[in-house]
Amino acid sequence: MKKQNNPDAQTGKKSLRFMERILITGVFLWFLGLIVVPFCGILKQTFSKNWHQAFASLTSSTALHSFGITIIICIAVAIINTIFGTMLAYMLTRQTFRGQLIIESLLDLPFAVSPVVIGFMLIILFGPNGWMGRIFSFFNIKIIYALPGMIIATLFVTLPFVAKEIIPILRQFGSEQEEAAQVLGASAWQNFRKITLPTIKWGLGYGLTLTIARSIGEFGAVLVVSGNILNKTQSATLYIHDQFTDLNYIGAYSASIILIILSILVINFIQFISKQKAG
């Protein structure tokens, strides 16, 4: 019996290894074709001939302003999402209330709905005739076709990232350590700061990375809400789009590269720190 079994097992293993190799090669090619080749293409397009021109278009006031807008949006969204995303995750895991499940399933909505549609939703709500828009215009605050609207649109699109990262961590972490701190006299805030936060900080960091990366790249929702006004409400992605439609390819490519590099830096920064910490 044993002698019969062994060769079977070995051929099983061999065919598994073969399949593994095919799969790995496939994934590698897929990655190469989808991400690496286009990126290299864009690099070549921009810098092979006209890097002077690229530099000039990047340092134009319109380009710089658009990057400034993107950075402001990123910072605002990062701060707001850290606070509300964490609160949302905490509420969904630590409290029981009616409608919890509905909220949790709605959390996926920003992933599912097209950003352009989200932009229109915001215009309906915050526009001059929208009921929120009327309230704000009473206080002379402009939301649509202004920076606040762009921030709100980006917030909406990036809402799930932080919460979605933290919820499973909090679920797995359980509430025992929090209860232990509570019995030892810790207030809710002390408990959060000393027990919960150290536990979720890497999840939070990762969620934040995704949030920032998405904020840098967001186009559709921001386009609808901002009105794309030069030197006013033009973010970096909108600038790239404009350059592209104006057939100024050098400008579009060079700005794109900056955005890509920014995103890569942001994503790797957190991973680098978490690996350092773990190692």
Partner 1 sequence: MASIMVENLSKRFGNFVAVDDVSFRAEEGELVALLGPSGSGKSTILRMIAGLEIPDRGKTYLYGKDVTHTVSRKRKVGFVFQHYALFKHMTVEKNIGFGLEIMKKKKDFIKDKVEKLINLVNLNGYESHFPAQLSGGQRQRVALARALAPEPKIMLLDEPFGSLDAKIRENLANWIRDLHQKINVTSVFVTHDQNEAIKIADKIVAINRGKVDQIGTAKEVYEHPETKFVASFIGNTNVIVGKLHDHKLYIENMAGEIPTKSLKAPKNGSMVLLVRPEDILISKKKTRECPIKGTIKDIYYRGSAYEINILTGDIIINVVEEKNRFQKKKIANNATVYLGFVKYNIFNAPEGRKIIEEKLSQLGYLE
- Contact residues toward partner 1 (CB under 8 A) are 176-177, 179-187, 190, 194-195, 198-199
For the bound state, the minimum distance from the C-beta of residue 175 to partner 1, rounded and expressed in Å, comes to 9
For the bound state, the minimum distance from the C-beta of residue 93 to partner 1, rounded and expressed in Å, comes to 17
State which residue, 182 or 228, has the beta carbon closest to partner 1: 182
Do residues 158 and 221 touch, judged by C-beta distance below 8 A?
A: no
129/145 Cα distance (integer angstroms): 14
State which residue, 179 or 246, has the beta carbon closest to partner 1: 179
For the bound state, the minimum distance from the C-beta of residue 279 to partner 1, rounded and expressed in Å, comes to 15
State which residue, 47 or 192, has the beta carbon closest to partner 1: 192
> How far is C-alpha 168 from the chain's CA centre?
18
Length of the chain equals 279
At 145 the three-state DSSP class reads: coil
Which of 125, 81, 135 is CA-nearest to residue 107?
81
State which residue, 120 or 173, has the beta carbon closest to partner 1: 173
State which residue, 15 or 187, has the beta carbon closest to partner 1: 187
For the bound state, the minimum distance from the C-beta of residue 232 to partner 1, rounded and expressed in Å, comes to 46
State which residue, 199 or 228, has the beta carbon closest to partner 1: 199
At 130 the three-state DSSP class reads: coil
Do residues 250 and 54 touch, judged by C-beta distance below 8 A?
A: yes
- With vertex at residue 199, the alpha carbon angle to CA 76 and CA 276, rounded to the nearest 5 degrees, is 85
For the bound state, the minimum distance from the C-beta of residue 179 to partner 1, rounded and expressed in Å, comes to 5
42/46 Cα distance (integer angstroms): 6
Largest CA distance in the chain: 87
For the bound state, the minimum distance from the C-beta of residue 181 to partner 1, rounded and expressed in Å, comes to 7
